[in-house]
Amino acid sequence: MSQLISDASEVLRLEAVTRQFSSTVPPAVCVVSLSLRSGELLSLLGPSGCGKTTLLRLIAGFEQPQSGLITIGQRPVAGEGHWVVPEKRGVGMVFQDYALFPHLTVHQNIQFGLKDKPVPAIQQRVQEVIALVGLEGLGDRYPHQLSGGQQQRVALARALAPHPFLVLLDEPLSNLDVQVRLRLRQELRDILKAAGTSAVFVTHDQEEALSISDTVAVMRQGCLEQMGPPELLYQEPASRFVAEFVTQTNFLTAQRQQEQWQTEIGTFPIDRLVSAEPTVGSLDTHAQIEVMLRQEDLQLKPDQQHGNAVVRDRQFLGREYRYRLQLASGQELVARTPVEVRLPIGAKVQPMIAQTSTLRAFPPQC
């Protein structure tokens, strides 16, 4: 079992949870351990098929783990002989397609999970959550009379109404267009924080995970690759996979040449590079490593004569440009620069790295 320490403010705890659908395929969720404290918003981030929905379904009780233990609000709910049915777990669920009842009004959808309470208490709670999600005046409408963003808020209000320990949200914003999604993701965080509810939020959108969560858990092929605050994942990715998936960083091969690392865009003193994977030991033991260069760490100096990169593409992003560069070897780099640095396609540039940037490096990929 994991070494996680139980804590009274902990609302969710997974210990070495595994779910394998068939003996012929690898587990969809493989020995995952994590914990969530009261009021915290955790994102599960990872590519399609990495096990995010399966993990959420295990927590909700729609799947049973083959091994491991799941505890919600200090009560074991699955594993080691325990089983609590989904409706008794104190968990609210918000699905990608909202799953509202089409024949019920907003008010009726929200009160659906409050059946066992006295009528005045139900009415009061429905009004409270309608106000919390900003849907005042829309209580008598049916789902088809609402926009996608409004429907998503009804789904959230319905999940929050019974005061759950935990709300689970499976890609709740992915059906919305980009403008609504950007606005609603901040609102979603504000609503969950105002309700004081803990939440697990599934997404495969890096920016969404980094911007709304207290903690991000990056999954890969059923396993938890790294978990921590968004800033930590961005600044100190523990693996090349996290670096590529979370920060869409560049990698450049560096060869050891006595007291320097030589790359296609310049040389660096040996001690300028730090190991991004301390567990693999010192970088000194390698003749070749991969240096991580974030898009914003690259500075571009126009140099038509000696520049060793060519601008292949330029995208205007409002406050900055994103350049796609090609080096002589054919390798591509992506750089983001302030709009003042406007370079034409085809221009030769010299990519440089800010002196202040910490350069992290990984051993070569096997």
Nearest approach, Cβ of residue 350 and ligand ATP (Å) = 40
* Sequence letter at residue 361: A
CB of 57 to ligand ATP, least distance (A): 8
d(CA 363, CA 366): 9
Query: DSSP for 207-232?
Result: HHHHHH-SEEEEEETTEEEEEE-HHH
Please state the closest distance from residue 184 (CB atom) to ligand ATP, in A.
19
Instruction: Return the axis-axis angle of helices 119-132 and 178-195, rounded to nearest 10°.
Output: 130
Interaction partner, residue 204 (Mg ion, ligand ATP, none; CB < 5-8 Å by kind): ligand ATP
Window of 53-61, 97-105, 213-221, 331-339 that interacts with Mg ion by CB under 5 A: 53-61
Residue 49 binds: one of ligand ATP, Mg ion, none (C-beta under 5 to 8 A by kind): ligand ATP
Q: Which is nearer to ligand ATP, 29 or 254 (CB)?
A: 29
Copy the structure tokens of residue 214: 């207290």
As measured in angstroms, the least distance from the Cβ of 34 to Mg ion is 17
- Residue 254 has phi, psi (to 5 degrees) of -125, 135
Q: Residue 292 contacts by C-beta under 8 Å, 6 or more apart in sequence?
A: 237, 240, 243, 249, 250, 251, 276, 359, 360, 361, 362
| Binds 282: which of ligand ATP, Mg ion, none (CB < 5-8 Å by kind) | none
Q: Quick one: 53 or 250, whose CB is closer to Mg ion?
A: 53
- Which of 35, 43, 53, 250 forms a contact with Mg ion (CB under 5 A)? 53
Q: Residue 71 interacts with Mg ion (CB under 5 A)?
A: no
Interaction of residue 263 with Mg ion, rule CB under 5 A: no
Residues 6+ apart with CB under 8 A from 159: 92, 93, 94, 167, 169
Minimum Å gap between C-beta 185 and Mg ion is 17
- Closer to ligand ATP by Cβ: residue 46 or 65: 46
Could you tell me which of 51, 41, 9, 36 has the C-alpha nearest to residue 208? 41
Site track for Mg ion across 11-50, x = CB under 5 A? ----------------------------------------
H or E segment at 244? helix 240-247
Rounded to the nearest whole angstrom, what is the least distance from the CB of residue 279 to ligand ATP in the complex? 26
Look at residue 70 and give its three-state secondary structure: strand
Q: Which of 186, 187, 180, 159 is nearest to 95 (CA)?
A: 159
Q: Residue 48 touches which of ligand ATP, Mg ion, none (CB < 5 to 8 A by kind)?
A: ligand ATP
Provide, for the chain, the percentages of residues in helix, strand and coil under a 3-state DSSP scheme, each rounded to the nearest 5.
30, 35, 35
If binding means CB under 5 A, how many residues of this protein chain bind Mg ion?
1
The CB-of-27 to ligand ATP minimum distance in angstroms stands at 8
Binding site for ligand ATP (CB under 6 A): 21, 28, 46, 48-54, 204
- Kindly list the residues in this chain that would bind Mg ion in the complex (CB under 5 A): 53
